[in-house]
Amino acid sequence: MENPVKETKAQKSERLKRAMNPWDGLAEIRRFAREGFDSIPPEWIGTYFRWWGVYTQGDGAGVLGGKDGQGRALPFFMLRIRIPNGLLRSNQLRTIASLTSRYARGIADLTVRQNIQLHWVSIEALPEVLDELWRVGLNTTGSCGDVTRNITGCPVAGVDADEICDASSLALETDRMLAGNADFYNLPRKFKISITGCRVWCPYPEINDIGLTAIERAVQGKREIGFSLRVGGGLSTDPYLGARLNAFVRWNQVLPVIKGVAELFRDSDSLREHRERARLKFLFLRHGWTPHDFQKELERRIGFQLDPAEAEQPPDDVYRDHIGIHPQKQPGLCYVGATVLRGRITPEQMHTAADLADRFANGELRTTNMQNLLIVNVPRLQADDLAKELGAIGLPVTGSPFWRGAVACSGTEFCKLAITETKTFSRWLVEELEDRLPGFEQHLKLHVTGCPNSCGQHWIADIGIEGKKLKVNGQMEDAYYFCLGGALGLNQAIARPVGFRCLATEVPEAIERLLRRYLAGGRPGENLRRFFARHSDAELRNFLAGEFVEAVARDLPEGRVPSAVEG
């Protein structure tokens, strides 16, 4: 008798998705809560829960503590709250703070997609958490899974003094169109959209499946605002910066265009054959599509031709974090941006931030994709007092470039796919660098990711480090591999793997050596990105090591890389 052919990961996923729309399963979730964790079937644990922004968290050992590309799971969940365009009200933040205290052991994180995610949520508590979020207009629908993820946008939309337009209404309309829509519950993989009306492209449209950036043109002497369109951007193990189409998308065309791209992605059966190659970018990377091919198919689907693209001006090397006190377009008002180091925020900080937003402003806050928190509509004469109170609770509005620029994924603390611990490490790394380089002032994006999936977005950082393991005295220890010179905008580039790897404990010394070489040998006005660009991989590797060292490979594991569920 012949051995049956084993079902692939992709085949299993597609079978389960065809069998059920997970958004129809709320009654099942409530039953699991009554009957306990042991009543949950494997298809919910491994697949369906993700459509509700929920997945099991790891036991702290990460991927190496399990088998088949995933670590061991605990009977607790991570829950990700969807916050379109990062728009948040004080009562909503208080609710999140309360839920964090009662059901998440006090642990919450701001993510690189403007979400807030909780940890340690039990199945018994899950329905109550969902109900309380719904009562204040929040939800978790589609924050994970093969669906449209949180729609990102400029966190200072509507208040930015230099914005082209406030595009947040489009982000909210897109969210209503796709999140929870049964027509789009079964995409090949996750689908990310960014819409911004700002000039500095702060929500990183270049790394989204759809990136829309506002642009102006003159038509018969009249000003018209539309959007440039990029498609297929994404990071992970095959980073790809979105391809710009030859299109000027008018305001009233945005929703049809987004729906058309989503349908094109949904109907691309070739992308369903391999889970690791199921993102939109692989039409360009693996299936021979060109931007022209994509636009032709898109226009066929939407039923109209798009106007040719207008010349655009991508932002130069700008820092997009919105930290500090900045004037708004509204006279006499400003917004205040507070740093949340590596995104970890406590219930007490959230409660106080909500109270401050009510006391000093009108209760409006914003989350950012650099894991920070803003309060908007603050009277200018009160901004300094607000800044002092934020600083008193550990959310300073100023800080070293290391504090401001640090971004970290969940790491082995909670993620089953991670190789290294990241959150505590990132805090220690920042403190070490502040002690070692107290006068350093250059803007710096320092991104820490615990595995090759790049949830910490190390490919677009000035200094991006990717988690590895090294054996020391018979024990596997955390280590990091260096990628340098990532950038978006006018000088966009994927960070270069320079062939240097070291133990986690040696990372601060390596970065100190690198930055001291920059301070000593940088040209007048030269920023880090340009400094890295004019040095070879071998030179940068030697700067990091302090001596000549041979290049080492990124040391990717053999076989398939685990499929990311973060980011």
Per-residue DSSP letter, 55: E
Residue keyed to tokens 């798009």: 306
Residues contacting residue 28 through CB under 8 Å, at least 6 positions apart: 44
69: confidence class by pLDDT, cuts 50, 70, 90: confident
Query: Quick one: three-class SS letters along 173-236?
Result: HHHHHHCCCHHHCCCCCCECEEEECCCCCCCCHHHCCEEEEEEEEEECCEEEEEEEEEECCECC
* Bridge partners, 225 (sequence order): 216
Q: pLDDT tens digits, residue range 298-321?
A: 999 999 999 999 999 999 977 788
Q: What pLDDT does residue 317 have?
A: 78
Q: pLDDT tens digits, residue range 354-370?
A: 999 999 999 999 999 99
Q: pLDDT tens digits, residue range 216-245?
A: 999 888 999 999 999 999 998 899 999 999
Mean pLDDT on 79-96: 98
CB 380 within 8 Å of CB 438: no
Q: What pLDDT does residue 2 have?
A: 58
Rounded to 10 degrees, the C-alpha dihedral 354/355/356/357 comes to: 50
Other CB atoms within a 10 A radius of the CB of residue 4 amount to 6
**What one-character-per-residue DSSP string does 416-447 give?**
TT-SS--HHHHHHHHHHHHHH-TT--S---EE
pLDDT over threshold 80, residue 9: yes
Q: What pLDDT does residue 6 have?
A: 86
Q: What is the pTM of this model?
A: 0.95
Q: What pLDDT does residue 240 have?
A: 96
pLDDT over threshold 90, residue 65: no
Per-residue DSSP letter, 389: H
Rounded CA-CA distance 538/498 in Å is 7
Mean pLDDT on 528-554: 95
pLDDT over threshold 90, residue 426: yes
Q: What pLDDT does residue 559 have?
A: 40
The pLDDT mean for the chain works out to 95
Q: How many CA atoms lie within 13 A of 468 on its CB side?
A: 24
Closest alpha carbon to 179 in 203, 149, 208, 209: 149
Rounded CA-CA distance 33/44 in Å is 13
**Edge-to-edge strand list for the sheet holding 373-379:** 87-89, 364-367, 373-379, 333-338, 324-327
Q: Which tokens belong to 112?
A: 């690189």
Q: What pLDDT does residue 556 have?
A: 53
434: confidence class by pLDDT, cuts 50, 70, 90: very high
Rounded to 10 degrees, the C-alpha dihedral 56/59/64/68 comes to: -30
Mean pLDDT on 121-137: 98
Distances (CA, A) of 230 to 12, 184, 299: 31, 20, 15
Q: Which of 59-73, 270-284, 346-360, 492-506 has the lowest mean pLDDT?
A: 59-73
Q: pLDDT tens digits, residue range 162-209?
A: 999 999 999 999 999 999 999 999 999 999 999 999 999 999 999 999
Q: 473 phi and psi, to 5 degrees? A: 50, 40
pLDDT over threshold 70, residue 353: yes
Closest alpha carbon to 82 in 136, 32, 44: 136
pLDDT over threshold 90, residue 327: yes
Rounded CA-CA distance 263/243 in Å is 18
Q: What pLDDT does residue 1 have?
A: 47
Other CB atoms within a 10 A radius of the CB of residue 337 amount to 26
- Kind of pairing, strands 446-449 and 463-472? parallel
Closest alpha carbon to 181 in 30, 21, 301, 25: 21
561: confidence class by pLDDT, cuts 50, 70, 90: very low
Closest alpha carbon to 531 in 541, 546, 517, 545: 517
* Bridge partners, 484 (sequence order): 463, 496
Rounded CA-CA distance 141/134 in Å is 11
Q: What pLDDT does residue 4 have?
A: 67
Rounded CA-CA distance 485/234 in Å is 17
Burial environment of residue 69 by CB neighbours within 10 A (0 to 12, 13 to 18, 19 or more) = middle
